[in-house]
Structure 1
Amino acid sequence: MSDKTPVTQDASAPEISAREAESRAAPRPVLEAMKAAELSALGNCIIDSGALGRSQTYPKLLRFLVDAALAGHVPRELDIAIGALGRDENFDVSSDSAVRVAVHQLRKKLASYYADFEPEATVRLVLPKGRHSLFIEHNARAPEPKKAALLAPPEESLLTKTAGLIRQRSTPALLLLMLIALTANLALLSDSNNAQGKVTAMPASSHPLWASVLSDDKPLLIVMGDYYIFGELNANGNVARMVREFTVNSSSDLEEFRFGDIEQSENYLDLDLSYIPEGSAFALARISPLLAQSGKSVNMTMMSDLTSADIRANHIIYIGYISALDRLASMTFAGSGLAVGRSFDELIDIDNVTYFTSDAGLPEEGQQFRDYGFFSSFAASRDTQVILVSGMRDAGLMHTAQALSETAALDELLLSLGDGDGSDEALGNIEALYEVYGIDRMNFESKLVYSQLLETGNFWGLAVSGEAITQ
């Protein structure tokens, strides 16, 4: 892909009048504001960013509109339906809103791209309402670079880096998550009785089981397992209720869901919302200080926003339920000795045909429950690693985070592997299961019930040692 050539303005140019400023603010045809090569590079840059989602619908649509602009052609709805959406010549634009839905969604995705990746861009590629072709719009609110530099803090901690990511993405779920996590961290730091817990974080971070992600220069990406929700509109166009659909786990999934039911598609609204379990906040509070000890770059994203490029460029630290693994699920169980049972609340030891089933989903008040925590560490490529801090429900997830942040529990896990291969490669490919008992959401007893080295040859159908995994 070509690099995008920035469109700049001479700083020494004289001030423009209010009428000229208003004229510049109005969207203009793209080739009036930039060269053909610049437009092509900008389109490639937007597609490469991943801002258009995992669905191929929107990259295809953007490429089609860029090509149309380069050719000086203003496409009709039917042109878009045939050329970008793969419909035939009998497509009826009057009765099928597929083109309007796709253009509307691309319009929002372009706005999200500039909000997330180029908030200071002086010109933006836009799809004005009522139009089916690309235009250029000047961003009058772009901050001056010098002022922005003065506002930047001299040094960033893990919390400020994460807060910066929240501001950049403007994701309500992340904001709520970090508010909860920050509160939990402050409570831990302010409690003098937790002095021992703070001390154990340092040796835990240098434990061999963490070496696969903390001993090199690769950045760390915390991925929170979230559950995507969207709005269902009533007859007045207001959000009547929030919907959790098990097959819809991201904005791109919602778009595919809409295309599968065009008649109902206009009743669904992407609210850019997701939620996380309460146990994830506790787990984050336990794991984030451990990661901060490494001094490495640490960022955060939601599972619904995770891309393949993220996995290739970062060590991944997943925190959340097993049921929210989404695109990491196939990698997790490729070389595992465990398999998902009747639901994500059940795992099966394949060799011994032993069932581990959680009943912590809806426990009665005062009734004892059993839950399971899941830890896994495996290579995603020759250079990157995935570590899962997970569980079937809150109790299992919270205990796993606690165990992975305490040296004694890490030593117990290491000893449970017996006299097998103790190499760094082997310790980077293991999994474990913790059984947790409790009452009324409180954990009273826990034990390690399963641990095993992973079958690395099963990842992607290739051995992870030697050659890189390129898929």
Structure 2
Amino acid sequence: MEELNRLLASETFRNSRQSEKLLRYLVTNTLEEHEEALRERAIGVNLFGREQKYDTNEDSIVRVSANEVRKRLHRYYAQPDMEASIRFSMPLGSYRVQFETVATNPPVREVAAPVPEKRTTLWWVSGGIGFVCLIAILLYGLWPKAAIEEFWGPALASDRPVVILAPNPVVYNFRRDTHQRLRGKATSHVQWQMDPLTPPPDTTLQWREVVPIIDQYVGMGSAHAISDVSVLLSKHGRRGDIRFGSASSFQDLLNSPAVLVGAYANRWTLQLTDELRFVCGERGQTPEIVDRVSGKTYPLKNLQPDGRTPEDYAIVSRLFHPKTGNLMIALAGVTQYGTQAAGEFVTDPARLEEAFRSAPRGWGRRNVQLLLRIPVVERVPGRPEVVATHIW
């Protein structure tokens, strides 16, 4: 706990009471092996005062706070003069803290260098070392890289920040006097923002009572994906430049690598991927994925009006786009669940390794599309299944 106290007293953590509180809670319960206390719902209830049955899919306080802790840990250990006997880390998808013991270098004793007996011996030794180094360099160039390095390499190698283009969904609310009329009492600003109306089904409304809201909201699945990508970039010392809605332009894509988040609410995803093999389409106002080569479709047969579904599909596209010349990655779920799962998929080294285990050598320099099927249980996306892979 001494190392934890030193970390929390640092400038990186002491200005964030919430991050300090969460990390102390997670470290304590990890050391005491309280697995139940490390579940998302338990953290929300015990630490953030949420109700016992609160909806973790709708309220992401724990996930957002955990990502903030991960960012601060990365920033703390990235300091050039940092010395720590134990390092704390928290893998994505888990709230269990991992502890890594850092070996300290033993004191170096000065030893007089032996005098070579003959010049020829030194020449042979030097030549042998040079030959070994040359072989090592050649092997390093031929040795296959990790899948996550292949996938993200061009973006991480760029000297420009990675532009993250968020979707721009239109949200509808009602005028405050309409809320008051339907509730039968005065409505506070908090109620107007957060409490859903539940009038009788045959209640009539006038269009003037409806308020379209543009460029102010982003969906939960997209927020998860943006967070996962931002954390990955931060771990590799890169910066993500997030653009929302109308704040984005084609010029952004011309100058930098880009990650397009979302499908039907992101105009750039629809425009820049419409000629690829797997595209987002619709049939009779029902969204679906279309394979333009085989003609096969992947519809969401049980999609509800509120967006809930027992399964989802997502397209992960990674290509050097001919219209921009830069690397472009699109994370396009049919619904929010698919977009969230796609974000988790492309930032998880183990999942990418599994997905590209059979890929041809050098696939990282080619264009790739993956079609994912995602089971959804209690509004939480499960582990994606790779349905199809296209590399060209």
- TM-score normalised by the chain length of structure 2: 0.51
- Return closer, same or farther for 1:240/1:303 CA change in 2, 3 Å cut-off: farther
Pairs within 5 Å for 1:46-445? 182-186=64-68, 193=96, 195=98, 207-229=149-171, 273-320=215-262, 322-338=263-279, 340-342=281-283, 343=285, 345-359=287-301, 361-362=303-304, 369-380=310-321, 381=323, 383-417=325-359, 419=360, 422-426=362-366, 429-445=367-383
CA RMSD of aligned residues (A): 4.3
Cα separation, partners in 2 of 1:384 and 1:346, compared to 1, 3 Å: same
Query: What SS does the aligned partner of 1:218 have?
Result: coil
Structure 1 residues 31-50: aligned runs within 5 Å: none
Q: CA deviation at 1:194?
A: 5.4
CA 216–239 in structure 1, closer or farther in 2 if over 3 Å, else same: farther
* Residues 204 and 443 of structure 1: CA distance in aligned 2, closer, same or farther (over 3 Å): farther
Letter in 1 for 2:340: M
1:180-233: per-residue Cα shift (whole Å, max 9, x none)? 87435147677651549xxxxxx9795201112112212211111121347787
Alpha-carbon distance in structure 2 between the residues aligned to 1:368 and 1:327:
25
Indicate if the aligned counterparts of 1:233 and 1:240 stay in contact, CA closer than 8 A.
no
Contact 2:161/2:240 (CA < 8 Å) preserved in 1?
yes
Cα separation, 2, equivalents of 1:216 and 1:316 = 11
Cα deviations by residue, 1:330-371 (Å, 9 ceiling, x for unpaired):
21122334452325730122222322122464299xx98121
Deviation of residue 403 (structure 1)? Answer: 1.5
| 3-state SS, counterpart of residue 283 of structure 1 | helix
C-alpha contact 1:283 1:398 (8 A) present in aligned 2? yes
Give the letter for the 1:437 counterpart.
P
Secondary structure at the aligned position of 1:387 is classed as: strand
TM-score between both structures, scaled by the size of structure 1:
0.44
2:266 is matched by which residue type in structure 1? L
Which residue identity does 1:372 align to in structure 2?
Y
Judged with a 3 Å threshold, the aligned counterparts in structure 2 of structure 1 residues 308 and 372 are, in CA distance, closer, same or farther, namely same
> What is the match of residue 40 of structure 2?
none
Which residue type is aligned with residue 193 of structure 1?
R
| Aligned twin of 1:163 | none
Partner Cα distance (1:411, 1:305) in 2? 35
The alpha-carbon distance between structure 1 residues 445 and 266, as it changes in their structure 2 partners (threshold 3 A), is: closer
Instruction: For structure 2, list consecutive stretches of 5 or more residues without a partner in the other structure.
Output: 1-10, 13-58, 71-88, 100-144, 183-206
Which structure 1 residue ranges, 5 or more long, are not aligned?
1-154, 157-176, 197-202, 242-264, 455-471
Q: Name the SS of the counterpart of 1:333 in structure 2.
A: coil
1: distance between equivalents of 2:329 and 2:180? 38
Q: Are the aligned partners of 1:218 and 1:384 in contact in 2 as well (CA < 8 Å)?
A: no
Cα gap change, 1:237/1:407 in structure 2, threshold over 3 Å: closer, same or farther?
Answer: closer
Does structure 1 conserve the Cα–Cα contact (< 8 Å) formed by 2:371 and 2:386?
yes
Matched residues, number: 246
Q: 2:387 aligns with which of 449, 452, 459?
A: 449
Deviation sequence 1:363-394 (CA, Å, 0-9, x none): 99xx9812112211122356422111221123
Do the aligned residues in 1 keep the contact of 2:341 with 2:382 (CA within 8 Å)?
Answer: no
Q: Secondary structure at the match of 2:216?
A: strand
Matched letter for residue 370 of structure 1: E
Shift of 1:409: 1.5
CA distance in 1, matches of 2:302, 2:311: 6
Q: 1:313 to 1:232 in 2, by over 3 A?
A: farther
The letter of the residue matching 1:375 is V
Q: Helix, strand or coil: the match of 1:275?
A: coil
Aligned partner of residue 193 in structure 1, secondary structure: coil
